[in-house]
Amino acid sequence: AQTVTQSQPEMSVQEAETVTLSCTYDTSESDYYLFWYKQPPSRQMILVIRQEAYKQQNATENRFSVNFQKAAKSFSLKISDSQLGDAAMYFCAYRSMMRGQGNLIFGKGTKLSVKP
Amino acid sequence: DADVTQTPRNRITKTGKRIMLECSQTKGHDRMYWYRQDPGLGLRLIYYSFDVKDINKGEISDGYSVSRQAQAKFSLSLESAIPNQTALYFCATSDSTDSYEQYFGPGTRLTVT
C-alpha cells in the first residue's frame, strides 16, 4: 500500500521569503500523480500544483514549484515570495494510475504560518 | 454556483443518532468520494463510487454507509453516531478518464456529543 509522509507538522516563514515543505512517499508503482493541496481557514481544499511521475521536469505554478525526486520518492513544495494569504495547511497527496484506483492518499499535513 | 455542494455545512448531533450527509455535483463526473479529516491525520478515504452501481469501501468504512442515489448524488450515513466520528467530512468528484484532478466540496463539520 502506498503511504505519504509529511515530516514537518508546522513551519513558519517571513513574508516575502522562501519556504520549502517536505513530502516523501512510498510506492512500488512506476506511474502515478503527486499533488499539493492548500487548505486555508475557510477549510476549502484547493489544488496548488500537480506532478505526473513520468515527467522529469518539475512542475511550476507562479510562486509555487516542486522538487520531484522520483528515485528518492521525494516531492517537496517551494513557495517563493511568501504572502500572508499563503498561511494554511498544506497536504501532499498521491494518486495511483492503476485502473480502478482513483482516490487520493494524503499526508498528515503541514501548517504554514506567514509572519508579516 | 459551486460545482460540488455538501449539506449541511455544520451539524451537531447526539451519540446514537442517525445522521446523513449529502453531496451533490454538477460536473457530470462518474466518480465520487467521501473523505474524513481529523487534526493531525490528514484526509482518509471512507467510501468511493465509480458509478451508480459501483460502491467500494475505503480505508475507514466501519461505522459508515453510503448511497449513490444518482450520478450526481452521493450520501454518507452514520447509523449510530459516536463521539469519535466528530470530524470534518469532504465529498469529492473526478471523471472516469485518467484525468488526475479531484474536485472537493466545502466540507461538513460534524460534532457528536
pLDDT in tens, A63-88: 999 999 999 999 999 999 999 999 99
Give the whole-angstrom CA distance, residue A10 versus residue B34. Answer: 26
For residue A86, give how far its alpha carbon lies from the nearest alpha carbon of chain B (Å): 19
Test B100 with A35 for CB contact under 8 angstroms: yes
Which residues in B lie closer than 8 A to residue A4 (C-beta atoms)?
Answer: 42
For residue B106, give how far its alpha carbon lies from the nearest alpha carbon of chain A (Å): 5
Taking CA–CA distances from A33, the nearest residue in chain B reads B100
pLDDT in tens, A30-58: 999 999 999 999 999 999 999 999 988 99
Confirm if A53 and A34 have CB atoms less than 8 A apart. yes
pLDDT, averaged across chain A: 94
Which residues in B lie closer than 8 A to residue A48 (C-beta atoms)?
Answer: none
Give the pLDDT score at B108.
97
Give the pLDDT score at B39.
87
Confirm if B11 and B113 have CB atoms less than 8 A apart. no
Strands B73-78 and B65-70: antiparallel
Q: Which three cell numbers stand for residue B28?
A: 457530470
Test B58 with A44 for CB contact under 8 angstroms: no
Res. B98 pLDDT band, cuts 50 70 90: low
Taking CA–CA distances from A92, the nearest residue in chain B reads B42
Give the pLDDT score at B41.
87
Give the pLDDT score at B110.
97
Does any CB of chain A come closer than 8 Å to the CB of residue B44? yes
pLDDT in tens, B32-70: 999 999 988 899 999 999 989 999 999 999 999 999 999
